[in-house]
Chains A and B, each alone.
Chain A
Amino acid sequence: MQKTYTNPVYDYIHSPDQDAVSPTHHPVVIVGAGPCGLAAGLDFALQGVSTVILDDNNTVSVGSRAICFAKRTLEIMERYGCADRMVDKGITWQLGKVFFQDDLVYEFNLLPESGHKQPAFINLQQYYFEEYLVDRVAEFSDIDLRWKSKVTEVDTNSERTRIKVVTPDGEYEMTCDYLLVADGANSKIRTMLGLESKGQVFQDRFLIADVVMKADFPTERWFWFDPPFHRNQSALLHRQADDVWRIDLQLGWDANPEEEKKEENIRPRLEAMLGKDVEFELEWASVYTFQCRKMDNFIKDRVVFMGDAAHQVSPFGARGANGGIQSVENLAWKLARIVRGEAPPALLETYNSERQHGAEENILNSTRATDFITPKNHISRVFRDETLRLAEHYHFARRLVNSGRLSLPCSYPYSPLNTDESANFNSALCAGSPPKDAPISVDGQPDWLIRHLGNHFTLLVNAESIDPAQLAALQDQKDLQLLLMSQNEVSREMGKLGTILQDAEGLISERYDLQPGRAYLFRPDQIVTARWAQLDSEQVKSAIQKALGFELETAA
């Protein structure tokens, strides 16, 4: 059926590990070359740790699955060096319409905040997202991506993990310090280890279809509650790249997936939805049930779960892939420093605690949207319908309409890695917050703050009225880069201490309340971990130690 995209076929390559007399040892092995596994490989490479990625298939996602990638994901992709291709290919949208029964209830314009390099979100088919990641992975010699390599046995203890891999030309064993598992919602490795992902299966089925429109159709997100063409159910229409449109049709629990997937059954529904005169071709269709569930602990000895294998959500709000990528980013810098011997093993546990919090937030939001879309009893349905009717005339009710709250970056205000702040900042970006981008200029060239954060700890300082000795005292701090914000000519001496940037539109000062002498410390995953009213090199050093988990170990 699929005409706009042909899945690439990647070569199986015989690995020297297969001929080794005894199992080869790798610091990090990743299972699954989906969005999270590939992202993990890239992140580790950027943090100086080589990885092996194993995938039992030899191509990217078959059929489109995730489509909506949020700004935070794109910022992470920017750090990996593949955001531009995604944004160029993807569809940027901000207009939407909500319908209830026969009526247009309201229109919205998401009007994203200006002064960010990345858009609020793009729509892009998952296969493109994965293909661009695969292409980027190929540019790193220390990522060994092995297709057609299926993990059939896993044996882990507190020291290491041993796995058996089956390939088209035989099987072999490997050992690793850490096995990262991103083998999807029905993770076989999770099952092999006797672990569970627990939660809620929604008593509902959805038909997901991708169609190619022959005629122009607006770049808007349309959501119908109880439309005349599909009574008592919901429908969603959303544009993707290549003039492909994603259609979600709620089918109800009693629907027969095999019947619903047939083109002769899909076509009349779509004709009712799009109008009889709209010509379209069906690209791909599938019937889903949705689940919201997660593992109680994402870590089992030397095995760490990521993505849908660790936490799964219903698609309303685009929190699956976006949540998964945030988990990868959270894990990679920590584990890389443990592997490099620069952080205590206890740091790994904060991947679990921080991302349990992220997963709970995503599950909460997507469950609420699912409950609004599919009311669970008669009175919930009455409230839902009256909310929609009021929304047509009263703005307040629009805030209750929930067809998915689009993924926003997760904050970790209670992380044990944060350093408590003592100053009053007129900015919500406290320790644990994701960064806010801003336009800057470096050497007279326009640039973006976000491009200068990450991979190492980064200290952003308003260098006006700074004692250069404080900056000089940080020159011997490992794993730290300095960003010095200055509006004036800086002395040549100070220019040697870090990257000098100008606050091009005053947005850093505004978003960070970065007055002279103030400083923000960002973790290697760009999360704010400390901020001070007056830079003090000793406090910066302690905050880095704390963010690396050294105080956790003392406490344990």
Chain B
Amino acid sequence: MKQNYTIIGAILLMALAFVMAAYLYNSQQTETKTQLVTQNSDALSKPYSPRKGNPEAKVTIVEFLDPACETCRQFHPLVKELLATYRGKVNLVIRYAPLHPGSDHMVKILQAAEKQGKFWEVLDLMFETQPYWASHHQPKPEVFWTYLERFGFDVVQLRQDMNDPEIDRIVKQDIADGQLLGATKTPTFFINGKPLSRFGYEQLKSLVANEVNANY
């Protein structure tokens, strides 16, 4: 009987140690990440970055995304929902983190669309049709081009614009900024420069709510 208690005690002790160590490690990591962003706050957004929402809003969500990333696709409507919930108080800045093979091509299409003021329409279409052009992580950009054509986008202009060396520079800058800020996974969110302590929609929602409450 005494032996059984010893075992149960040991198991409880190990579980407790694990949870406490995980908590300490995570809070320490969040602190390091926050410091990293504070030191490199210039890298958060650039004048060329696509924006949505009131430019005067006091809460800014910066999202590093990859058009071929499934989780980014799932977060897309949720982030738009957040913008609608806090209309006028929250705006969104998109940065590119083309981590999947072939994503740099897709990202260049997006920035070319930004030039025509069509960024958000093309991003919506990209995420909507993602299973068809990004299936099995084997990107088929030509499939997406047929969608662009079918939905009446100016494909000729897009093809011309995306080869602009300026766009290449923009994508490289975004990749460099992402690495600087530790945005190694997609999507990575920064809300007024604060990273999520743990990844998840609930965490994103509550951090945005906190920032709104603190600023309005």
- A joins B in a complex: no
